[in-house]
Chains A and B, each alone.
Chain A
Amino acid sequence: SQQGEEDPQALSIQEGENATMNCSYKTSINNLQWYRQNSGRGLVHLILIRSNEREKHSGRLRVTLDTSKKSSSLLITASRAADTASYFCATDALIQGAQKLVFGQGTRLTINP
């Protein structure tokens, strides 16, 4: 079963607009990560935010974390056609007695030129 749930499942915007994706999770965490995946390729790590952090920036990416609501958001500013990809949140969850990274179902982002 998935730990995280992304919302929306699909998002289509015009180039230059901002894209916001949300992630909700179920259990307490040490950190939350966002990954990107181009079609048919492996996942690429974007950013990690620790449970004691509320906001983090990396280039055009801004991630927020609200542990009281068990939710996170990923904002991509000034989107580009090359940002078209699927984006996944992942949390380190204690499952079956071991810490492991559990992924959500992802948001498919399409940037229209």
Chain B
Amino acid sequence: DTGVSQDPRHKITKRGQNVTFRCDPISEHNRLYWYRQTLGQGPEFLTYFQNEAQLEKSRLLSDRFSAERPKGSFSTLEIQRTEQGDSAMYLCASSPSGSVGELFFGEGSRLTVL
């Protein structure tokens, strides 16, 4: 299966620790998105990349969050000095270039901050 894959699927960490999530998009997709979803809510946009360029970053993201997409392939999302409010599902999605059409989502990485 060559769908979007995310790792790890689950992460439990203590407050103050750093965590990193990885996303491998569908290989021919140029666009990559990160969303955050809390329980009972819809996904909220965090950031997106066109190839290796980070084109947009939500005001929701504090300076503790950083995302990269080196070489325009996989992407990482790092959260430094985690807080309990960071507990959520972090979803990655990819799509071909062009206007905003169908997004292909991974299964998500669930973060629990104790």
Count of A interface residues, CB-CB < 8 Å: 27
Contact, CB under 8 Å: A104 / B100: no
Interface size range of chain B in the complex = 20 to 34
A42-B106, A45-B104, A103-B43 in contact; A98/B99 too (CB < 8 A)? Answer: no
Which of chain A's residues have a CB closer than 8 A to the CB of B43?
Answer: 43, 88, 103
Contact, CB under 8 Å: A48 / B101: yes
- Please count the residue pairs between chain A and chain B whose beta carbons lie under 8 angstroms apart in the complex: 64
- Picked from B56, B107, B110, the residue with its CB within 8 Å of the CB of A96 is B56
A42-B91, A44-B105, A45-B104 in contact; A99/B99 too (CB < 8 A)? Answer: yes
Interface centre among A42, A92, A105 (most CB of B within 10 A): A42
Give 19 new A-B contacts, CB below 8 A, not counting A31-B100, A42-B106. Answer: A2-B44, A35-B105, A41-B107, A42-B4, A42-B91, A43-B105, A45-B102, A45-B104, A48-B101, A48-B102, A88-B42, A96-B58, A97-B56, A100-B33, A100-B45, A100-B48, A100-B56, A100-B100, A105-B40
B residues with a Cβ closer than 8 A to A are 4, 33, 35, 40-45, 48, 55-56, 58-59, 91, 93, 99-108, 110
